[in-house]
Amino acid sequence: MKQLISDVRTMSLRRLKISIRNLDTILTSVVTPSLMMILFVYVLGGSMHVEGMSYVNYIVPGILIQCIGQCGSNTAIAINNDIKSGIIHRFYTMPIMKSSILLGHIIEAFFRSIVTTMIILGIAYIVGFRPDMQVHNMLLIILLLAMFILMISWMSILFGLLAQGPEGAGACAVFISILPYLSSGFVSVDSMPVALAVFAKYQPMTPIIDSLRALFMGEVFYIQEYLLGMMWCVVFIVICFGLSQVLFKRKLQTS
């Protein structure tokens, strides 16, 4: 266990140092969601009417989800680059715990996502976001966001292992980032066409976004919806973790 902790720390620090040297990894995760938030609030916000709250308060949870999805793109590219460059093969021949290689990427992605999420919340406050929550709401928000970040991080690792190159790995952001638009992130599900409303209602992002919104704004909180969002996160974490382990070993054996 001591060796695993030491190896994971080493791999995490390696990835963190690379991210610090390449601040564009954080900028790319922040710029797009920030621009979308400004666009929706100042250009389209005047024609958007949400009952009981301002439009900026309504869309911030969806923007946060989109931001974390953008971070996932960088994680997918990073693991794919490590495999293509051969550095992971060198790590694999060293006397280290092999699981620490992927865990290092996950921990770095987790902290990078937290930093970008805090930046987005700061920008949201500047453009008018005003949460109204209790301390226990904040704890529930942190827990749900942490689980969502882990889910996106493991999904991104899986995308990075499946992709043939960095460009394909980065395409995972398109898949992840589009789902908030097809949920309750920017408009009410009830205002959508029937077929799209059915998809939006039952896709994983909707209960997560709705729970975050209710917790941020101190609204009526449905524990079933919160647990459904957590369940989606746990299911995807387990699936992506298992598939990533299998693909990672296969990649190294066949390379």
Tell me the pLDDT of the chain (255 aa) as tens digits. Answer: 777 788 888 888 888 888 888 777 777 777 878 888 888 787 776 667 777 788 889 999 999 998 898 888 888 988 988 888 878 778 777 777 878 888 999 999 999 999 899 999 999 999 989 998 888 899 999 999 999 999 999 999 999 998 888 878 877 767 777 888 888 888 888 888 888 899 988 999 999 999 999 999 988 778 999 999 999 999 999 999 999 999 988 877 765
Q: Which residues does 110 contact at the CB level (< 8 Å), separation at least 6?
A: 146, 149, 150, 153
Alpha helices in 163-193 (DSSP H): 166-170, 172-178
Cα separation, 84 vs 74, in Å, equals 15
Cα separation, 195 vs 197, in Å, equals 5
Q: Which residues does 212 contact at the CB level (< 8 Å), separation at least 6?
A: 61, 64, 65, 141, 144, 145
